Structure 1
Amino acid sequence: MVQEYLQKCRAILDTVEAQTEQIQQTARWFADTILAGRMVHVFGSGHSRIMVEEMWPRYGSFPGFNPIVELSLTFHNLVVGANGQRQAMFLENVPGLADRILRNYDLSEQDAALVISSSGCNVVPIEMAELFQQRGVKVVALITKEHSEASTSKRADGKKLSDFADLILDTGAPIGDAMLTVPGLDTPVAPGSTVGGAVLVNSIKAEVARLLTEAGHPPKVLSAGVLVGAERAVDLFESAYDEHAHRLAKLYARVGTPSYVIEK
C-alpha cells in the first residue's frame, strides 16, 4: 500500500509540473498585488483550510496573503456535538454567507484571490469567487478537476467554482480523492488532493518570492532560528507580522459605512 500510494503521488507531481505556465501566471498576478501594497485573499472551507494555512503564516512563507479562515466552516477536532462537522458541512452550503464574510473587507481591483475547493461544488467557495470577480479581483481556483467535473454543484443554478475563475489549477487527484483500493475493502482510502494542493501552493509561493526579489522587494520570510540564527529569526517574525498588519489595515481603513474616523 505504501509503494502504491507513493506511485500515485508521483503521478500527481507530474500533473502539477504540466501546469507550470499556469503557476507562473498565478505568481505574476499575486506578485503584482503584493508589490502594490495590497493582499492576496486565500479562502477554503472544510478540509481546504489546510491549503490556506500552508500559504501563510508558516515557516518558509511571507506576508502579502490574507488567510480567510472561518471557524464555523473549518473547526474539525470535535467532529460531533457542539461546533461539529455536520454543522460545518451544512454552513458551507448556505447562500449569502460568503457575502457576510467579504463585507468585512474593503476590496480593490489590485487584489487577487486564491479560492480552494476540491469539488468546486460547495456554495460558499463558489459565491466567494463570484463576489471577488464582481469586485474586479482576479480569481485563481484550486480544484480537483476530475472530481469537480464528475460532481454536482450544490448551488441552485448548477454553477461551480470553475465558472468564476480567471485561472484554474488542478490538484491531480482522482474522482472521490481517495487513491488506493485495499483488497477486501469496497471503499477507496488515502486521498491525494492535499498532496497536489500543497505542491501547487508552495510552487506559487516560491515563484512569487522570486518575482518580489527581482523587483527589489525581497519578502520577509518566516525562518527558523536554527537556520538563520535566533536574533534574525525573531527580527524576521516581528517584521513580517508587522508588514501583515500594515497590509491588513488597508482592508479595514475605509470599509463599509463611512465614519468621521476615516478622516482622522
Structure 2
Amino acid sequence: MTNEFSKRNTMNLINQYYQKINASLKQIIEKETNKIEILAEKAYGAIRSNGLIYAFGTGHSHILVEEIFYRAGGIAPVYPVLIGSLMLHERAVLSSKLERIDGIGEAIASDLPISSRDVVIVFSNSGSNSVAVTFAESTKKIGAYVAAVTSVEHSKNVTARNELGKKLYEVADLTIDNHVPYGDASLKMNNITVGPLSTICGAFIIDSVMAEIVKLFEKDGIEPPVFLSANVPQGDEVNALLVEKYRKYIPML
C-alpha cells in the first residue's frame, strides 16, 4: 500500500512538472514566436554578411550557450563565450559573486572580435547581474545586434545589480521572454520549491531560432552550415568541413 501511494504521488508530481513546462512553452509559442523569427532573420543576415552569432551566459545560463555550440542539428557559425570562472565547474559560489562585479562584462566584450556584423545573444534568467547586463551594453555600443533570453517576470521583481542600474531586457535590442516565473523553480512542496524551468524553456527558444535560421538558408536555396551527429554515417566528414571553414573565426572549434 505504501509503495503504491508513493508511486501515485511521484507520478502526480511528474505530471505537475510537465504541466508547468507546458504552460511556459505555451506562453512562448503565443507571445514570443514573432521575436524568435526576428532574431533568426537578424542572425541569418549576420551570417550571410560573414558575421557570427556570439552567445554568452553565466552560471546555469552557460548551458544554453553550449546547447547551440558544435551541436548535432545546430549551425556552425556560433561563437560560444564561455568564461570558466563564471560557469560552475571551477567554483560555483565564487562564480555567483563574480557575475555581480562591475567591469567584468566590459572586459570580456573588449577581448572578443565582435563587430557590427555580428549578433550577440545573452542568456540570463534574472537579467539583473552586472556581467550579463554590461556585456550586452558593451557589445551593443560596438554596433552588434543584441538579443536577450530572460525571464521578464523575474527581472521586474529584483533590483539591478550593476553600475547601469538596468535589467537585461532594458538594454537588449530584442528581448525574448522565457516565461519562467520568479525564482525559476516551479513546484511548491510545503516550504520548498523545485522543478526549474529556465534551461528547458531557454533551450526550446534558442533551438527554435537555430531551426528558423536553417529554414531561411533553404528558402534562399543555400546549403546551411549544419553539424551532424558525429555518431552517424558521414558525420565526421561533414563536420570536418565545417570546422575547417569556421575554426579561424571560432578558436574553440
TM-score by length of structure 2 reads 0.89
Q: Which runs of 5+ in 2 are unaligned?
A: 1-12
Distance apart, 1:216 and its partner CA: 3.5
Return the alpha-carbon distance in structure 2 between the equivalents of residues 210 and 10 of structure 1.
25
Distance apart, 1:226 and its partner CA: 5.7
Return the alpha-carbon distance in structure 2 between the equivalents of residues 212 and 119 of structure 1.
33
Paired position in structure 1 for 2:8:
none
SS in structure 1 at match of 2:154? helix
Distance apart, 1:236 and its partner CA: 1.4
Q: Is contact 1:35–1:212 with CA below 8 Å preserved after alignment?
A: no
Alignment of 1:204-223 (within 5 A): 204-223=209-228
Distance apart, 1:103 and its partner CA: 2.3
Match of 1:23 among 36, 39, 46: 36
Paired position in structure 2 for 1:116:
123
Return the alpha-carbon distance in structure 1 between the equivalents of residues 195 and 24 of structure 2.
13
Distance apart, 1:60 and its partner CA: 1.2
Match of 1:133 among 135, 140, 153: 140
What whole-Å deviation, never above 9, does each CA across 1:199-243 have from its counterpart, x for those lacking one?
A: 00110000001112223332232213665x2xx211111112122
Return the alpha-carbon distance in structure 1 between the equivalents of residues 25 and 36 of structure 2.
13
Q: Is contact 2:149–2:177 with CA below 8 Å preserved after alignment?
A: yes
Identity of aligned residues (%): 30
Q: Which runs of 5+ in 1 are unaligned?
A: 77-82, 250-264
Bigger shift: residues 49-58 or 240-249: 240-249
Alignment of 1:105-184 (within 5 A): 105-182=112-189
Distance apart, 1:17 and its partner CA: 0.6
SS in structure 2 at match of 1:10? helix
Q: 1:107 to 1:156 in 2, by over 3 A?
A: closer
Q: Is contact 2:230–2:239 with CA below 8 Å preserved after alignment?
A: no
SS in structure 1 at match of 2:221? coil
SS in structure 2 at match of 1:248? coil
Distance apart, 1:53 and its partner CA: 0.7
Return the alpha-carbon distance in structure 1 between the equivalents of residues 170 and 42 of structure 2.
19
Return the alpha-carbon distance in structure 2 between the equivalents of residues 65 and 31 of structure 1.
12
Return the alpha-carbon distance in structure 2 between the equivalents of residues 25 and 101 of structure 1.
26
After TM superposition, what 4+ stretches of structure 1 lie above 6 angstroms from structure 2?
Answer: none
Q: Is contact 2:65–2:80 with CA below 8 Å preserved after alignment?
A: yes
Paired position in structure 2 for 1:247:
249
Q: Is contact 1:220–1:239 with CA below 8 Å preserved after alignment?
A: no
Alignment RMSD: 1.5
Paired position in structure 1 for 2:98:
91
Q: Does 1:71 align with 2:84?
A: yes
Q: Is contact 1:37–1:247 with CA below 8 Å preserved after alignment?
A: no
Q: How many residues align?
A: 238
Paired position in structure 1 for 2:74:
61
